[in-house]
């Protein structure tokens, strides 16, 4: 094992340089103009995987391709099989003017590597590739078979990966899936995440006049879709921060006293959080702490809001339409389809007759909850402890990784969520970064994990 750890130690500069190469691809899955960049990024990964000794190929899908890479299999022996999942697609980098340096020109400052996709998720899955490289290149036998599945559509809902899992069910059957695409509370507290929130996405459009109108000539006699939408949205949350949609909380699994106590012990500080986020004060559903609000309670969030004239100066119009992009975060045991229905029914009920309501459904996934006391979880905790030299914590997180539900349903495998991101990494924000200490600790954690999983 020492030879593997030494290999990792001695090759840090090269791993960082390779990660920088990977970060140069603007692999923004949501934007159609980047289709070729995603393809190029996937091809770079296949080439890299082959170079380090994996058997790798591109698997085309109806959307962006999947990269599939395997450790060479020994013919006779059947070893335990684990899958490592990651995603090479990234969120849109906009607004560009807030980046200190361009999002796809990686920059290192101290121990921070700045680039879109650095923490979410290229840096995190690359730690696992470095670890397997260390085994393969030092001729150290791996105690298990590994399959890497690195997709290009996580940030847009993983629609094609679910199909891929079904059509490759036998090949991908495994004992557990390992995912580093979550976070840790701070650099001194490695973590095993045992729950994620689910999600439903949709767009709401209110249509008014057949075209933008002169607001002086017609304003006052027609409803303004932007105002109507603002009023509609305003009705959806009460003054206590609760979502005012009938049935929304019906199936929410209440938090146990034990869990709430554990949450309170996590090393997060509300004043620091407020400062980090730049808000005047924290706000959330009354009766719950910020940690609970952002990991174990459901939300209704406006992600985008558009209507009327957005250019310079003023333009006196009544806009023809107003639109909003919404996502709700879901918790155990909320059912995505049921919540979607509850939201739609309520919107239809309260929408004024002066505008036309259109609702377009987007992706959806239920929340994820897995036992933190399983043998696999215990092995992961041991690997974290050794790699970081610190006592790991257990936590629930508010983000979503929709495909982990399919790993369970289609492959029968639980997912170990072993994140390497810090709260200040700016995932999905301008100036995203990845901490190079987390990168190195993550590589060690991965290398140690494959041993620990067998004990
Ligand atoms: N890495 C995140 C998920 C995440 C982040 C989980 C932090 C826990 C803590 C992932 O890349 C992501 O952003 N997922 C999307 C999924 C959605 C687009 C379906 C999300 O959570 O918004
Ligand atoms: Zn993300």
pLDDT digits (tens, 9 = 90+) for 363-404: 999 999 999 999 999 999 999 999 999 999 999 999 999 999
Identify the CA nearest to 444 among candidates 399, 390, 386.
386
Residues 445 and 308 in one domain: no
Domain boundary among 327, 350, 365: 365
Structural domain that includes position 205: 198-252+298-365
Q: What is the pLDDT of residues 80-109, one digit of tens each?
A: 999 999 999 999 999 999 999 999 999 999
Closest ligand 1 atom to residue 193 Cα is: 8
Integer Cα distance of 342 and 403 in angstroms: 24
Indicate which atom in ligand 1 lies nearest the CA of residue 421.
7
Residue 315 and residue 425 in one domain: no
Report the atom number in ligand 1 closest to the C-alpha of 428: 13
Distance (angstroms) between ligand 1 centre and the Cα of 211 equals 37
Helices (H), 302-367: 336-350
Which pLDDT value is given to residue 306?
A: 98
Q: Per residue in 215-253, pLDDT tens?
A: 999 999 999 999 999 999 999 999 999 999 999 999 999
Average pLDDT, rounded, for the chain: 97
b (16+ CB within 10 A) / e for 190-206: bbbbbbbbbbbbbebbb
DSSP of 68-125? EEEPPPPSS----EEEEEEE--B-----GGG-SS-TTS-EEETTEEESTTIIIIIHHH
Q: Is residue 417 part of a domain?
A: yes
Residues 169 and 188 in one domain: yes
Closest protein CA for atom 6 of ligand 1: 399
60 lies in the same domain as 88: yes
The Cα-based distances of 370 to 158, 192, 193, 405 in angstroms read: 20, 11, 9, 10
Helix segments in 96-202, DSSP class H = 123-138, 159-167, 169-172
Give domain status of residue 285, yes or no.
Answer: no
In a domain, 421, yes or no: yes
Residue 455 binned pLDDT confidence (cut-offs 50, 70, 90): confident
Closest ligand relative to 299 C-alpha:
1
pLDDT of residue 346: 98
**Order of all β-strands in the sheet with 198-207:** 299-307, 321-330, 198-207, 356-365
Dihedral pair phi/psi, residue 193, rounded to 5°: -90, 125
31 and 180 co-located in one domain: yes
155 Cα to the center of ligand 2, angstroms: 6
Instruction: Write out the DSSP string of 227-241.
Output: HHHHHHHHTTB-TTS
CA 239/CA 242 separation, integer angstroms? 7
Distance 153 CA to ligand 2 centre (A): 10
CB 104 within 8 A of CB 114: no
In this structure, the answer to whether residues 49 and 140 fall within a common structural domain is yes
Kindly indicate the confidence band of residue 74, based on its pLDDT and cuts at 50, 70 and 90: confident
Residues, CB within 5 angstroms of ligand 2 (ion): 120
CATH number for the domain spanning 232: value is 3.30.70.360
Which ligand ends up closest to the CA of 420?
1
Counting ligand 1 atoms within 8 A of each CB, the residue from 400, 402, 434 with the most, and so the one to mutate, is 400
* Residue % of the chain over a pLDDT of 90: 98
Residue 154 Cα to ligand 1 midpoint, Å, equals 8
- Shared domain check, 320 and 176: no
* pLDDT, position 78: 85
Asked if 153 and 98 sit in the same domain, the reply is yes
Say yes or no: 357 and 385 in one domain: no
75 falls in which pLDDT band (50, 70, 90)? confident
* Ligand 1 centroid distance, CA of 289 (Å): 21
Q: How confident is the model at residue 10 (pLDDT cuts 50, 70, 90)?
A: very high
Q: Which atom of ligand 1 is nearest to the CA of 201?
A: 19
Do 41 and 128 lie in one domain? The reply is yes
40-49 contacts at long range (C-beta below 8 A, 24 or more positions apart) = 41/88, 41/152, 42/66, 42/67, 42/88, 42/150, 42/152, 45/69, 45/88, 45/150, 48/18, 48/22, 48/129, 49/129, 49/148
Q: Which ligand is nearest to the CA of 156?
A: 1
pLDDT at 77: 81
Q: Separation of 156 CA from ligand 2 center, angstroms?
A: 9
- Say if residue 353 is in the same domain as residue 341: yes
Question: Tens digit of pLDDT for each residue in 135-189?
Answer: 999 999 999 999 999 999 999 989 999 999 999 999 999 999 999 999 999 999 9
d(CA 13, CA 234): 51
Ligand 1 atom 4: the closest Cα is on which residue? 399
SS3 breakdown of the chain: % helix, strand, coil, rounded to 5? 35, 25, 40
Say what the pTM is: 0.95
Residue 64 pLDDT:
98
- Flag whether 271 is in a domain: no
**254 in helix, strand or coil?**
coil
**Cα 383 vs. chain centroid, distance in angstroms?**
23
pLDDT in tens, 418-440: 999 999 999 999 999 999 999 99
Q: Which residues line ligand 1 (CB under 6 A)?
A: 120-121, 154-155, 157, 181-183, 196, 199, 363, 397, 399-402
d(CA 322, CA 236): 17
Q: How far is the CA of 425 from the centre of ligand 2 (A)?
A: 12
Instruction: Give the other-Cβ count within 10 Å of 62's Cβ.
Output: 8
* Residue-by-residue DSSP string for 17-29: HHHHHHHTS--BT
Which residue has its alpha carbon closest to ligand 1 atom 1?
A: 181
- Which of 161, 369, 401, 406 most suits a substitution to test ligand 1, by most atoms within 8 Å of the C-beta? 401
Q: How many domains does the chain have?
A: 2
In this predicted structure, the answer to whether residue 76 has a pLDDT above a threshold of 90 is: no
For residue 383, the CA-to-ligand 2 centroid distance in Å is 25
């Amino acid at each position: 094992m020492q030879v593997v750890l030494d290999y990792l130690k001695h090759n840090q500069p090269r791993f960082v340089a390779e990660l920088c190469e990977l970060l140069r691809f603007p692999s923004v899955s949501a934007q159609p103009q980047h289709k070729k960049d995603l393809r190029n990024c996937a091809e770079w990964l296949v080439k890299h995987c082959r170079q380090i000794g994996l058997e790798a190929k591109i698997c085309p899908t109806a959307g962006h391709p999947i990269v599939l890479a395997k450790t060479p299999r020994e013919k006779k022996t059947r070893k335990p099989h684990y899958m490592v999942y990651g995603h090479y697609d990234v969120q849109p980098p906009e607004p560009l003017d807030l980046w200190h340096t361009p999002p796809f020109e990686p920059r290192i400052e101290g121990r921070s590597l700045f680039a879109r996709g650095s923490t979410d998720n290229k840096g995190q899955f690359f730690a696992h590739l470095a670890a397997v490289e260390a085994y393969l290149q030092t001729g150290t036998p791996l105690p298990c078979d590994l399959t890497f599945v690195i997709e290009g559509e996580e940030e847009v809902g993983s629609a094609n990966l679910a199909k891929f899992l079904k059509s490759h069910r036998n090949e991908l059957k495994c004992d557990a899936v390992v995912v580093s695409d979550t976070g840790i509370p701070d650099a001194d507290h490695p973590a095993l995440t045992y729950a994620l929130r689910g999600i439903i996405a949709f767009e709401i459009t209110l249509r008014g006049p057949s075209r933008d109108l002169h607001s002086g000539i017609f304003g006052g006699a027609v409803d303004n879709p932007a105002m109507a939408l603002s009023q509609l949205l305003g009705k959806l949350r009460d003054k206590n921060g609760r979502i005012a949609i009938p049935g929304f909380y019906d199936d929410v699994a209440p938090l146990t006293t034990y869990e709430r106590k554990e949450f309170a012990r996590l090393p997060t500080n509300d004043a620091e959080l407020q400062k980090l986020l730049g808000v005047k004060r924290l706000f959330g559903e009354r009766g719950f702490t910020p940690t609970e609000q952002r990991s174990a309670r459901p939300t209704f969030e406006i992600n985008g809001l558009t209507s009327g004239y957005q250019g310079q100066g003023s333009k006196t119009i009544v806009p023809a339409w107003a639109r909003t992009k919404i996502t709700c975060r879901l918790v155990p045991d909320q059912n995505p389809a049921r919540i979607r229905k509850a939201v739609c029914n309520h919107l239809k009920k309260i929408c004024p007759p002066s505008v036309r309501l259109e609702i377009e459904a987007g992706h959806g996934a239920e929340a994820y909850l897995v036992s933190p006391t399983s043998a696999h979880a215990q092995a992961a905790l041991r690997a974290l402890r050794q790699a970081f030299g610190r006592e790991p914590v257990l936590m629930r997180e508010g983000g979503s990784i929709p495909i982990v539900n399919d790993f369970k349903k289609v492959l029968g495998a639980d997912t170990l969520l072993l994140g390497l991101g810090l709260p200040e990494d700016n995932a999905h924000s301008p100036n995203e970064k990845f901490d190079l200490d987390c990168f190195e600790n993550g590589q060690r954690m991965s290398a140690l994990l494959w041993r620990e999983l067998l004990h």
